[in-house]
Structure formats: structure tokens, C-alpha cells
A and B are shown apart, each in its own frame.
Chain A
Amino acid sequence: MSYFDYPRLHFSGKFIADPSTINNYPANNLANGDLSKMQLYWNPDGTGDFAFEDCVVTKVEYADGSIATTKAEDSIVGESVSSIKNFMLSGAIVDLDPRQMMVSTLFGLNFQIGGDENLKGEFSSTPFNGIWNFPPTTASATYQGSMKNLSFSASSSSKYLKEIQSNAKLSINLTVTQYNMSPQLYSFNDNTFASMLSAGVPQLILDKIEDFKTFSQYQGQNHDKFGDIPTQRYVSKLLVKYLGRSDYNKYQEIIFSETKANYEPGSPFEFTKGLIVGTVGPELAAEPEFVVSSRVLVPSDSSVTSFTYFNVTGTDTGSKVQLNFANSFQIDRKSQPLGFNDVSDLYLARVSEGQVSQILHESPLPLSGSFLVTSAGFLQIDVDSDVSSSPISLVKKSDDGSYTVIQEENIDGYFLRADQFVYRMNPNSTGEYGKNAELKVYVYQYGQPVEDGVEIDISLNKLDMNGGTAISFEDAALKFESTKVKTVSGVATFKMSCIEPTGPFPNDLDGDVYNINYKFTNSSLAGYKFASGDSVSVHVYQSEVSLTGKEVLQQYGEIYPVMSWLTDEALVKERKGVVLSLLQQPLTSISHMPVTRDMSIAKRKLAIEWVESL
């Protein structure tokens, strides 16, 4: 079972993702806190928070075929879907490493569906995948995971809540899109200094912030100008630090007014916000945490990387096809509410040798208008033909009546996907995040687990800031018991271990980061197409650390301004108790110290020992 099953709930609204970005640039590690040598990127003072905002239930579908889109039909409709704030954060969004920022993971996100009548649960620590749709300043991606430890309010009039109560787990599919990562910039240069002086800021004050002219987002690269500093929050922090609170209060209004640059929003949303749509369905206890048994439509145009996942069940008269289009199409930014761009006249069809042999339904798919936000991009449609074990395609009808294939089913109806696809491994350590781990690749054909004996093989890339280069298994610090494994009950299981990485480790980056690419060994399936980011990322940390515990924490304070006090030994000593507690929380806990989830076990141990010694 999964979000393709019933009862199924859809919601939409906004999300907030507020990651810290100074750590994105590895050379910042060695800048010793000198901001003139650092790249601030687009959100230097990010808190690491991930949260929902103004999300509401828009629709519920039940097993008997009925649908609720109003409160009268089900009291859960129109109710909120909200992330539960724990301490200062709702969830923590964390990159694996500057070398792999395309699997940002949500940790510790609990959320609630409904108001007084509700269900609550804990979302698994889930990385995004399927990232694509890059206009200059935004992107789309999918989080597919489980919600566990469910609890329900004492009584409920909602049919949905009553029906879903028997489930121990839920399957959650979230699509995030139109994220605005374009910050408001404040320009500190000769011109704005002159205008600040004219507007009444004394030269003595301006002298104190002269250094601001040397700060930058990208050290002058990518049309970046020195002195352009992102976000009011970060500039405020710098001004308070350089001027003190009294002078800050006295002059901040003029300073912000005179330095505020022209702003071009990166999306229809405010900075660090975007559109989120979600679909929730039941999940069996034994099912994998991230993979959903499904089929996949892949773009015919190889330059497009958006996939559509779907499922088919047989009916008396044909098939019921359920498709998740949430991350399939470009968004029309001018539409209100936001919807897909150019999705008229689309049909499901059988295609043979490039030609449409059968259109499977009469009317075009209803994907335009408010479909994205009211149905979370999810569509179910009955077709007259049994397509439960034969391929289908998505085609577009032209004005002349001809059809163009837009997406087609992956080769022979196959779909393979690693369940866990982000690993943190530490040589010389055992247990969670230790030196051993299992990689499970699930293989489906037409939505069913493949028979035993389908062989999957893997290859390795070692990642750097410019991408990845192939590396032999012999040369890698990541080892495999076997690099070719046959499926058992639809799963190919690879046993992994790691040894001490040998470097080099430019800019003090910790250890190695690898991409594991998996594929069918059978060369006749070489045409199988992988979605964007459909691989496995593994960070193998070093266990041998040349830094002292103090230096470890100091470095974190320098590249994560939200924890800048870590650079001050007296403050760490004063906060000793809480620092120790936060460093020792599980990585999955929202209470874990923000953004230190990318710290190795060895470094954490050194840091703890140092703090204990204070």
C-alpha cells in the first residue's frame, strides 16, 4: 500500500526552507572567519528550519470511489496541515556535504493533519530526489517517505480520520516547487556610503562598517558584486556586531533605506518560501520506508528530467490508472492559483513503435487550472483497456489531430529505486552511521516485484565541487561485498563497508563523498532511464582528525552563523551543559545541534571531549 491507495488525502499550501549557506563553499572552512574571504551565498544566516505554512486539506478520496472536496462531505477538508514546532524548529533541513547538496534531508519533522480533530505523526528523515525545473532561481523536487508513531485525537467526525486510524504508518508524498532562493541584497559601496553620509549617518559610523564593502555572495563570480550582502536578517546581525545596539538602533533605518538594492523575486513566493502539495495514503508496516511500488513515465525529450509515477489496478471493464503529476510539468507562474503550464489535450495512450495505437479515454486529462493545488497533482482515471501489464504513454493531441508522445513508460515497465539513498558512514565505528551498511535496490515490473534472479550492478563516482568522476572499487574508501547482486523477492541487497579515506581533502572537507549508480546488468535493459538524482550518495568520513575539539567547533561557528558563538570558548564554557546535550542527541532528533549532522563521529567525539574538559 502507499499514497496510491485509499483513503487518500491531498493538501497544498506553502513551505519554508531556511538552510544556512555559508558552509556551501568549502574554502570558507579555511577563512578563519574572515568574511572578506568567504562566499556568503544566498542565505548566510539560515536557521536550518523547514516548516509548512498555510497548508490545508483540499480533497479526500475513499476506497468506494467517493470523493470529498467540501467540509460537508468530510470535516477534515479545509482543515490545516501543519508542521509541529519543536523548540525553535519544525524540521531541520540539512545537506550531506558541499559536494552533495542535491539530497537535502528533513530531520525531526513532525506534522499534524487537521485542527481539533486530527492525526499527528513523525515524518521519516527523508532526502529529496527528482530535483529539476530550474528556471534561473527555483527548482522542484519530491520528498517521499513514511509517517510513523501516529496518534489520533480522541473523537472525530471525519470519515477520513476514522478510516485511516487502523494504519500504523502512512505513505507521504510531498512535492516542493517555486522555491524563492533570491535574497534581498543590500549594497555597501562608495555610492551608497556617500548617500548614507548625506542622509545623516556620521563618517565615524561609516568607518566602522567600511569592511562591508569587501563582503560578497560569491567572491565576485557569477556577476556578483563585492559589497552586496544578502538578507536583512544577516545585515542586521552584522550591523549590531560592528556598531553595537545603540548605534544600530540610531542608524539602521537610514542604512537599510540607502543600501537596499532593486529586488527581482525568484518566484511568486517570499524569500525562502515556495509551493508545497502533498498526498497521503496508508502504508503497511513491512513496506520499505522510501520506495513506493509504482510504474514510471519518462520524458521522450531527453533534455527534460521530470518523471511521472503511476499505478494501475484492474477493473471489471479495464483499468484504474492513478498518476502523480505533482513534479511532472513546468509551472505557469502567472496562473492563479498556480497551475501547470501547457497541459491541455493530454491523453494516456498505447503506443507501438512510436505511433499511437489506442487512446485510452475520451476526454483529455483535466490537469489545468487549479488541478495542481486542489488535487496535489494527483489524478485517477478509469480507462477502457487492461493496461495492468502493458506499457502506456502520455501523448499530446495537436490541432491537426495528430499525437506527440510526451512521456513513455520506462523500458519493459521496469522501475528500480534504492530505498535509503543517502548514507553517512564512519570507519572504525560500529552501529548506526558506522562502517557497515546495507543498500537495498527495489526492482518492479509493471508495479509488481520482479522475479528472483534479476541482476543489478553498480558503479562509483567520487564527488567534488565540480561534479563527479568515476573511481574504481579498489581505489575507493567505500567497499562492497559484491558489486553485482541478484534480486530476492524483488530486492537486490548490497553489503557496504568503508575504510579510512586517504584524501586529498581540499579545504578541510571531511572524507569522501561517493555516488553509487545502479543499473540492470542485462545489456538489453541499458535503455532504462533514471530520474534526476536517482542514485545513492554516501559520505565516508575520516576517523583520523588533525583538528582539536576546540578547532572543530570553532570551524562550525565560522561557517554556520546561527551558531557563531561556538567560536568563543568562554561562551561554550558557559553553555557547556546544553552544548553537550545537543551534540549527543541522535541525528534524527530535532534537538540535535543545528546543522552539525554533517559532522563525523570522530569530530563529534573530539568536540564533546573538549567541551567536557572546560
Chain B
Amino acid sequence: MILKKLTTSFIAAGAASAFFLTSCNSGGNATVAKNEMILTQEKDSIAPWFVGNKITKNGVVKPADSLVTLESDADFHLWSWQMFLWLMSQDDKAFVFDSAGFFDLSEQDELLPNGTDSKNVRFIRNGQAGMMAHGVLMSQDKEPTINGSLVYYGIHVNDTFAYYVSGQKNNDPAIVAMTDFPTTKPELEVIEAYAKKAYGANITTPEALAMEMKSSWVEITDEKAGKEYITTQAYIPVYKKDSTGKKWIWDGKTRRKAFLAMVGFHVVGSTAKHPEMVWATFEHEKNSPNANYKYDDHGVTKEVKNFTSAGLPIEKDWLFYDVKTNMKNANIMNMTLTTANDGSTIIKAEPSKSISAGSTYRISPYGNKPTEAKKNTLLRNINKSIRGQLKSGDARKEYFLVGSIWTDNGVPGVNNSVPIFAGSTKLANSTMETYTQYNNCFDCHTTQKGLTLSHIAPVIKPLQLPKK
């Protein structure tokens, strides 16, 4: 009854770290080897993650306890999976990440509280992150999209994040004394006390610590069209095309209601000893092909061939890849986005290109070099195990964890030090960092102290204080 013991232990600890008891070393190949061995036991149950301790279709999942120290690579990846399943749980028809206790970031950098009457106008960004240019992604003209779709992005934070950043912006002495995102119970209590004192608010899920998320979506005809996707309704920008077709302009105001299907999701949060945050990303399995990569099959290194030697994809059904395109010509930006001073947004075709779908593949499958067989194997096995346990018809089953990254020294840059990356050190989401896949999260989210780690925290306007 080993399985029962594992489960009991997991419930008691309430944390992913106890899930695979034998995977308790920190990082390194030895840990990977151990995890690999364990993760081939696909019956290890994720039932304790669910409310009621039973895996059910679309069942509500509990958040991972981020105050528990994550030790092994598997621990981090499992934290990511549990958080994803929790955030994508639906309660009263609202996803957790889109319900009370969470905020969406507006184009004006305001935190918009979620609520039953919110109009969900938040998935309106079309530009990707980028050091020098914001690339714009469009899907192929295939189901479930309508004639191909621009990809829309949303940015979301939880209440711990929102009150922490607001306290920093409002110069609350106790919050300002915290130089990093919270990782301990006492730090969490400071934020809870501030939320109560300044806003009369309670933190809804304190054990999740501070979290920020980014989501990517495509437009679909209706909910049914996206039955294998996590879907929502939102108001999206209406672009006007200029006469050349090389420029689409959104006035920053005009929107229309649309059905959207989620294609990607970043889960980012602080955990014990990791103020630099764990950065994880998920994608829909139909998004984009992986580059050819290696994995370990019971001690034998094997290769997964996703492209022929001529550079054409073997699998034909991809939302972001035209099967006639040679991979040499993939991941090329067709258009970029700029925001004009008057708030209007312009999508402009690159020289010699048109505003159209390109082809995208994942350069670093599982966020690792294609040749890193052991690390790839760990993620393959974790995905296989968890997705295998989710019930048919649960749309979360159609997504997979690309990978998670954190730093081994666990701290942001202090006194001119540099981070030692751990986990999926070449992590990128093919729908969000399509054209900057060569970077990992920390290349842009520099692990310096304080709010600069997050791109949104320094620019967010603090939550409005209640009138006295």
C-alpha cells in the first residue's frame, strides 16, 4: 500500500513536495535519475490536489502551499502543475485566476478587480514581450479559430501580489522594509496586515504567496468550437485595416465581445526560499511542434523526430505552423506592434511581409536544450502522469507543462552576483515568446532585488485606497 502512504503523507503536508517522497534531493542529475524512476510509476495519484480528494472532470483543485520548500526539480514542476490546475479550476463558472482574489492588468497599468459584474475587457494586448520589438502572432486559418486569429494576451495577479506592490507604491514602512517578494509566513503576515489596515481586505489564498500570470488566447466562433480548449468571453480590440493591408490600427477604445480559447499560460509565483519566483509555462498540445529532441527510455537515449531531415513537420495538425513551411523559415516575425502616444495601437507588417500567420515551432522542447535527454524525460513523464490522470472532457487535460525555471542560489542578484539558473534553463512559450525563444525568463526578468524582477510591478498603479 505504498500508494496509500504517499497519498496520506501528501494530504498531511498539503504540498507538492511530499508527493514523490523519493525525489527530495536538490537539483542535479542524481535527482533527475531518481525522479525519472519514480515518474514511470504513472499511478502516483494527484487526487489529493482536488477538493474532496478525488479526481473529477473539471473538478476544483486546491492551490499548492508555496510556504513549503521545494527541493527537487520534480517538486518545482509539480508545484507548477498544481497551481495551473488550481488557477484553471472553475467555481461558479469563473476560473480561479479570473475570480475574486485576482486582478487583471489594464492597458493603463491599473489593477482591475475581478467580480461577477466585470466586463472582462482585459485580454486586449497583442504585442509579445521583446527586448527590441514586440512581435505579433497570428494563428493559421484552421479550427477552432475563425479565418486565423490574432493572439490576445492577458496579465493577471493575485491579491498577495496586488497588496504587496500597492504597499510598496504607497510607501507603507512595513512593506517597504521587505525588499523582495514574500517567501515566509512572517512576510505574508505583514502583507495580510497591510491589506486589512489599508484596504479592509482579506487575502483569499495566502498560502499561494505572490503570483503573477500571463495568458494567451485566440478567437473562436463559439464555446463549442473550442471544446478541447479552456474558453472564455471577453471584449477584444477592433482593428481597422489601412488601404495597403500592411497596417492595422486600434484606436485604443473600440472593442467587441468575442469567444476566446486559451493557447498558453504562464504561472509565476514566489515560494519558500525563492523570491526570484518560480516561472512555469503551459501550452495547448495543438499549438506548435517541438524541434527534434532526445529523451531517456529506460537508460537508452532516443530521439523524438518532429521534423523530417528536409525540415518539414511530420505531424500536420498545428494551430501555429503551416505544414508546408520549412523550419528554416519558421519563427520569423511577420508583424510588430507599437503603441502611439495617443494610446492607439498599430500592428505593422515587417518589410517584405504581410499581416498574416507565420509558422512557429518550439526550439527548446520542455524548456531544455533538445539534447538534454534526462531533463526532457522528467517533464515528459510528469506530463504523461498528470494528463493521464485528468478525466476525459476536462479541457485542462489538453495542456502540458513546457517547463519551470528558478535559480539554484535561490536569490536575486545581491551585491553584483548573478543567478545560477535551474530547471528548464531555456524556457519559453511558443505563443508568448515566439520570437525570443533564445532567452529564458530570467534573461528579461533580471533577478535584481525588489519589484524590478517583475515587468509589471514597477509600472502598476497601486490599488485605490478607500475614502475615509
Nearest opposing residue in chain B for A118, CB measure: B341
**Min C-beta distance of A462 to chain B, whole Å:** 33
Nearest opposing residue in chain A for B436, CB measure: A578
Chain B, range 305-339, C-beta contacts under 8 Å to A: 328, 331-333, 336, 338
List of B residues within 8 angstroms of A574 by Cβ:
363, 437-438
Structural contact, A581 and B420, CB atoms closer than 8 A: no
**Min C-beta distance of A468 to chain B, whole Å:** 35
Q: How far is the CA of A584 from the CA of B351 in the complex (A)?
A: 7
**Min C-beta distance of B389 to chain A, whole Å:** 35
Chain A, range 571-586, C-beta contacts under 8 Å to B: 571, 574-578, 580-582, 584-585
Q: How far is the CA of A256 from the CA of B415 in the complex (A)?
A: 10
- Known contacts A571-B438, A582-B133, A594-B132; is A149 also within 8 Å of B340 by CB? yes
Which residue of the partner chain, among A151, A252, A571, A591, contacts B417 with CB atoms under 8 Å? Answer: A252
Nearest opposing residue in chain B for A584, CB measure: B351
List of A residues within 8 angstroms of B3 by Cβ:
none
Q: How far is the CA of A110 from the CA of B416 in the complex (A)?
A: 31
Structural contact, A576 and B341, CB atoms closer than 8 A: no
List of B residues within 8 angstroms of A577 by Cβ:
135, 331-333, 434-435
List of B residues within 8 angstroms of A571 by Cβ:
438
B418 interface residue per 8 A CB criterion: yes
A246 interface residue per 8 A CB criterion: yes
Structural contact, A151 and B409, CB atoms closer than 8 A: no
Instruction: Kindly name the residue among B131, B342, B419, B438 whose own CB sees the greatest number of chain A CB atoms within 10 A.
Output: B438
Q: How far is the CA of A580 from the CA of B336 in the complex (A)?
A: 12
A610 interface residue per 8 A CB criterion: no
A207 interface residue per 8 A CB criterion: no
A197 interface residue per 8 A CB criterion: no
Chain A, range 545-592, C-beta contacts under 8 Å to B: 571, 574-578, 580-582, 584-585, 590-591
Structural contact, B418 and A245, CB atoms closer than 8 A: yes
**Min C-beta distance of A614 to chain B, whole Å:** 7
Nearest opposing residue in chain B for A235, CB measure: B416
Structural contact, B418 and A578, CB atoms closer than 8 A: no
Q: How far is the CA of A590 from the CA of B419 in the complex (A)?
A: 29
Which residue of the partner chain, among B350, B409, B437, contacts A581 with CB atoms under 8 Å? Answer: B350
List of B residues within 8 angstroms of A150 by Cβ:
341
Structural contact, A249 and B133, CB atoms closer than 8 A: no
User: CB-defined interface of A579-614 with B at 8 Å, one 1/0 digit per residue?
Assistant: 011101100001101100000000000000000001
Given contacts A151-B343, A577-B332, A614-B328, 7 further A-B contacts (CB under 8 A): A87-B134, A88-B132, A249-B409, A253-B415, A577-B435, A578-B132, A582-B132
In order of increasing CB-CB distance, the 6 nearest A-B pairs are: A151-B342, A120-B341, A151-B341, A591-B133, A584-B351, A574-B438
List of B residues within 8 angstroms of A614 by Cβ:
328
Nearest opposing residue in chain B for A152, CB measure: B342
Nearest opposing residue in chain A for B417, CB measure: A249
**Cross-chain pair count, CB within 8 angstroms:** 84
**Min C-beta distance of B28 to chain A, whole Å:** 13
Chain A, range 83-109, C-beta contacts under 8 Å to B: 84, 87-88
Q: How far is the CA of A249 from the CA of B419 in the complex (A)?
A: 8
User: CB-defined interface of A16-52 with B at 8 Å, one 1/0 digit per residue?
Assistant: 0000000000000000000000000000000000000
**Min C-beta distance of B449 to chain A, whole Å:** 15
A240 interface residue per 8 A CB criterion: yes
User: CB-defined interface of B128-166 with A at 8 Å, one 1/0 digit per residue?
Assistant: 001111110000000000000000000000000000000
Count class of interface residues, chain B: 20 to 34
Q: How far is the CA of A515 from the CA of B322 in the complex (A)?
A: 52
Which residue of the partner chain, among A122, A246, A248, A585, contacts B133 with CB atoms under 8 Å? Answer: A585
List of B residues within 8 angstroms of A581 by Cβ:
133, 135, 333, 336, 350, 435
Structural contact, B435 and A240, CB atoms closer than 8 A: no
User: CB-defined interface of B197-230 with A at 8 Å, one 1/0 digit per residue?
Assistant: 0000000000000000000000000000000000
- Known contacts A571-B438, A574-B438; is A593 also within 8 Å of B132 by CB? yes
A145 interface residue per 8 A CB criterion: no
Structural contact, A256 and B435, CB atoms closer than 8 A: no
Which residue of the partner chain, among B132, B133, B416, B420, contacts A253 with CB atoms under 8 Å? Answer: B416
Q: How far is the CA of A229 from the CA of B450 in the complex (A)?
A: 29
Which residue of the partner chain, among A84, A232, A249, A253, contacts B418 with CB atoms under 8 Å? Answer: A249
- Known contacts A249-B409, A581-B336, A584-B350; is A88 also within 8 Å of B131 by CB? yes
Structural contact, B341 and A149, CB atoms closer than 8 A: yes
Q: How many residues of A contact B (CB 8 A)?
A: 36
Chain B, range 327-373, C-beta contacts under 8 Å to A: 328, 331-333, 336, 338, 340-343, 350-352, 363
Which residue of the partner chain, among A87, A249, A580, A584, contacts B131 with CB atoms under 8 Å? Answer: A87
Q: How far is the CA of A310 from the CA of B445 in the complex (A)?
A: 48
**Min C-beta distance of B420 to chain A, whole Å:** 5
A274 interface residue per 8 A CB criterion: no
Structural contact, B341 and A245, CB atoms closer than 8 A: no
A236 interface residue per 8 A CB criterion: yes
User: CB-defined interface of A207-243 with B at 8 Å, one 1/0 digit per residue?
Assistant: 0000000000000000000000000100010001000
List of B residues within 8 angstroms of A151 by Cβ:
340-343
14 sampled A-B residue pairs with Cβ under 8 A? A84-B341, A87-B131, A87-B133, A149-B340, A150-B341, A151-B341, A236-B416, A245-B418, A575-B438, A576-B332, A578-B130, A578-B135, A591-B336, A593-B132
A121 interface residue per 8 A CB criterion: yes
Instruction: Kindly name the residue among B132, B333, B416, B437 whose own CB sees the greatest number of chain A CB atoms within 10 A.
Output: B132
Which residue of the partner chain, among A87, A121, A249, A594, contacts B341 with CB atoms under 8 Å? Answer: A121
User: CB-defined interface of A513-529 with B at 8 Å, one 1/0 digit per residue?
Assistant: 00000000000000000
**Min C-beta distance of A437 to chain B, whole Å:** 22
Structural contact, B350 and A232, CB atoms closer than 8 A: no
List of B residues within 8 angstroms of A84 by Cβ:
341
**Min C-beta distance of A429 to chain B, whole Å:** 15
- Known contacts A87-B133, A88-B131, A151-B341; is A576 also within 8 Å of B331 by CB? yes
**Min C-beta distance of B106 to chain A, whole Å:** 15
**Min C-beta distance of A165 to chain B, whole Å:** 13
**Min C-beta distance of B414 to chain A, whole Å:** 9
List of B residues within 8 angstroms of A236 by Cβ:
416, 418
List of A residues within 8 angstroms of B341 by Cβ:
84, 110, 120-122, 149-151
List of A residues within 8 angstroms of B340 by Cβ:
149, 151
Structural contact, B132 and A246, CB atoms closer than 8 A: no
**Min C-beta distance of A149 to chain B, whole Å:** 6
User: CB-defined interface of B395-432 with A at 8 Å, one 1/0 digit per residue?
Assistant: 00000000000000100000111111000000000000
Q: How far is the CA of A88 from the CA of B341 in the complex (A)?
A: 17
**Min C-beta distance of B430 to chain A, whole Å:** 12
Chain A, range 110-143, C-beta contacts under 8 Å to B: 110, 120-122
Chain A, range 196-210, C-beta contacts under 8 Å to B: none
Which residue of the partner chain, among B130, B351, B416, contacts A87 with CB atoms under 8 Å? Answer: B130
List of B residues within 8 angstroms of A582 by Cβ:
132-133
Q: How far is the CA of A570 from the CA of B132 in the complex (A)?
A: 20
List of A residues within 8 angstroms of B333 by Cβ:
577-578, 580-581
Instruction: Kindly name the residue among A149, A577, A614 whose own CB sees the greatest number of chain B CB atoms within 10 A.
Output: A577
- Known contacts A87-B131, A149-B341, A581-B133; is A249 also within 8 Å of B420 by CB? yes
Q: How far is the CA of A574 from the CA of B439 in the complex (A)?
A: 10
List of B residues within 8 angstroms of A253 by Cβ:
415-416
Q: How far is the CA of A176 from the CA of B328 in the complex (A)?
A: 47
